[in-house]
Amino acid sequence: MKDKLKTLEEAAALVADGSQIVMSARLDWAPMAMLRNLVKQGRTGLRLIGVVGGQINVDYLVGAEATESVDTCSVSLGPYARTGPNFARHVTQGRIRALDNT
């Protein structure tokens, strides 16, 4: 039987530029090691969908300029910031497309 286990680097390599990624909004569920590998491998044009919002996961990918659009009801850093600073800056500057899914 074929081994299905992958390293983080191998798993990140399966994500192509322009892929759609769906993530939860919980700070404690953010797959940061995977997201760091996506950035390290230079992914661009990602479409992020935040289920019940987005937090550090979305803000991180936006700040790394790996994101083309974000489809979510909000992006915050929970108790630490009302709005994700990277997300707010990129939306204000017109650098990403923000779609509201409330």
pLDDT digits (tens, 9 = 90+) for 26-77: 777 788 999 999 999 999 999 999 888 889 999 999 999 999 999 999 998 8
Could you tell me the pTM of the whole model? 0.90
Question: What kind of fold does domain 17-100 have according to CATH?
Answer: Glutaconate Coenzyme A-transferase (3.40.1080)
Read off φ and ψ for residue 10, nearest 5 degrees: -65, -40
Q: Where are the domains of the chain?
A: 17-100
> In 3-state terms, the chain is what percent helix, strand and coil (to 5)?
35, 25, 45
The pLDDT score that the predictor gives to residue 28 is 74
